[in-house]
């Protein structure tokens, strides 16, 4: 219980590792600036929630499936190294998956050759499992091998860490990505069968002083965002952390009381589930409710995207997400994003979560996480929320 006192005081100790995260241009904006987005969206229809609910049935019983998803709007990346001597990679730290993957030097797809790739022959600590893994995104099929090596995050080293080495990446989105791979921070139940996620491996090896990590996603375009491992720094939020127990232990899933706009319930009318997902840019919900919300904010479906008048960012009311009887406002400046050109703004709401199951589910992505500093507490199976500075 001693560490709970430390978290209560939220003290920064010498044991806390802070990993700088950089906000980079999203794939969507990159494609838009090249005048490629419209054709891309027409040729490659996508599901914003493809990464949720993927099961082993996608592959044969002898092959493990590694989750992958749509990458068009993921924008925060940090650096890790793999191997001895270390090979550098930029990755997305994703709270809604649990595996680590990077491109292999044996991959000759355009998405691989335009990014850094791992060369097993240059690492003295690499071990091959000779086990095939298949990554199943919404289009194409990414395949590779499962390997083991030393993974370093800050000063933490995860020895004999399992990770995927992609050998084929036909997925077009990845060609325009500003990152090399993904490092999952979800529960072990989401990981490839028989493997241990990075965070759990660090914990087993006694490297993490406390079983927590935290995310601060700054609105600054280049600097300021961080991933904290092993503790919390109170300089990144104001007020007290409000704790919310998890309702499931795979994704970071909680109970959401309701969503209101100007006092009217517009979503989650009878209570529902919510997943906090650093790997999604949007606020996602059931298509019917999202359609109503798009009408409320007067979003129009133009060129395969929901466009909103930019003046609405300063005139529309907040959406209120009530969690554990605490209200968390999401203002218009957050749920309406500026485009790369003047007078072009877009809705940060997206639908499709009804495919996750019978129970109503919402996904709180970076739109929400930028507003609220979030502590992910594996020791107590809960999250902590506070207003980000």
Mind listing the pLDDT tens digit for each residue in 221-238?
A: 555 789 999 989 888 999
DSSP per-residue letters across 301-339:
EETTEEEE-TTHHHHSPPEEEEETTEEEEE-HHHHEEE-
**Residues 103-113: tens digit of each pLDDT:** 999 988 877 88
Identify which has the larger pLDDT, 355 or 204: 204
Residue 374 lies in a domain: yes
pTM as predicted:
0.85
**Residues 337-384: tens digit of each pLDDT:** 988 677 889 999 999 999 888 899 999 999 999 999 999 999 999 999
What is the CB-side half-sphere exposure of residue 42 using CA atoms within 13 A?
Answer: 6
Name the burial class of residue 381, with classes exposed (0-12), middle (13-18) and buried (19+) by CB atoms within 10 angstroms of its CB. Answer: middle
Residues 191 and 293 in one domain: no
Domain stops at, among 208, 242, 274: 208
Q: What are phi and psi of 103, to 5 degrees?
A: -70, 150
Residue 26 lies in a domain: no
Catalytically annotated residue among 180, 200, 277, 377: 277
pLDDT at 38 over 80: no
Residue 214 lies in a domain: no
Residues 183 and 313 in one domain: no
Can you give the pLDDT at residue 75? Answer: 61
Residues 383 and 240 in one domain: yes
The whole domain housing 346 covers 233-388
Residues 237 and 204 in one domain: no
Q: Is 94 a catalytic residue?
A: yes
Residues 182 and 237 in one domain: no
Cβ proximity of 251 and 186 under 8 Å: yes
Residues in the chain: 389
In this structure, of 44-53, 200-209, 265-274, the range with the lowest mean pLDDT score is 44-53
Identify which has the larger pLDDT, 376 or 36: 376
**Residues 303-344: tens digit of each pLDDT:** 778 999 999 999 999 999 999 999 999 999 999 998 867 788
Residue 316 lies in a domain: yes
Catalytically annotated residue among 94, 99, 180, 257: 94
Q: Is 200 a catalytic residue?
A: no
In this structure, of 29-38, 65-74, 115-124, 368-377, the range with the lowest mean pLDDT score is 65-74
């Amino acid at each position: 219980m001693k560490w709970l006192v430390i978290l209560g005081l939220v003290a920064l100790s010498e044991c806390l590792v802070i990993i700088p995260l950089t906000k980079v241009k999203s794939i969507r904006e990159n494609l838009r600036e090249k005048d490629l987005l419209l054709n891309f969206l027409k040729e490659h229809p996508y599901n914003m929630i493809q990464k949720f609910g993927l099961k082993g049935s996608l592959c044969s019983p002898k092959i493990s499936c590694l989750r992958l998803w749509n990458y068009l709007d993921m924008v925060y990346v940090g650096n890790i190294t793999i191997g001895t001597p270390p090979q550098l990679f930029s990755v997305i730290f994703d709270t809604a998956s649990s595996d680590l993957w990077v491109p292999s030097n044996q991959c000759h797809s355009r998405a691989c050759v335009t990014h850094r790739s791992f060369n097993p022959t240059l690492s003295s600590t690499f071990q091959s499992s000779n086990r095939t893994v298949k990554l199943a995104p919404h289009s194409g099929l990414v395949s590779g091998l499962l390997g083991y090596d030393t993974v370093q995050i800050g000063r933490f080293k995860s020895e004999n860490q399992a990770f995927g080495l992609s050998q084929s990446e036909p997925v077009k989105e990845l060609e325009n990505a500003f990152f090399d791979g993904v490092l999952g921070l979800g529960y072990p139940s989401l990981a490839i069968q028989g493997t241990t996620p990075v965070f759990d491996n660090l914990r087993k090896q006694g490297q993490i002083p406390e079983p927590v990590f935290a995310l601060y996603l700054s609105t600054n375009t280049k600097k300021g965002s961080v991933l904290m491992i092993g503790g919390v720094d109170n300089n990144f939020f104001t007020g007290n952390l409000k704790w919310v127990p998890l309702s499931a232990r795979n994704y970071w899933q909680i109970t959401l009381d309701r969503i209101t706009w100007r006092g009217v319930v517009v979503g989650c009318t009878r209570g529902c589930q919510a997943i906090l997902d650093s790997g999604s840019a949007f606020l996602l919900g059931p298509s019917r409710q999202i359609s109503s919300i798009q009408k409320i904010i007067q979003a129009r479906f133009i060129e395969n995207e929901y466009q909103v008048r930019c003046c609405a960012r300063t005139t529309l009311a907040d959406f209120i997400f009530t969690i554990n009887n605490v209200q968390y406002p999401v203002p218009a400046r957050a749920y309406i994003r500026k485009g790369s050109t003047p007078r072009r703004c877009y809705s940060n709401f997206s639908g499709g979560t009804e495919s996750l199951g019978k129970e109503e589910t919402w996904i709180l992505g970076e739109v929400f996480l930028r507003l609220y500093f979030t502590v992910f507490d594996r020791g107590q199976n809960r999250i902590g929320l506070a207003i980000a500075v």
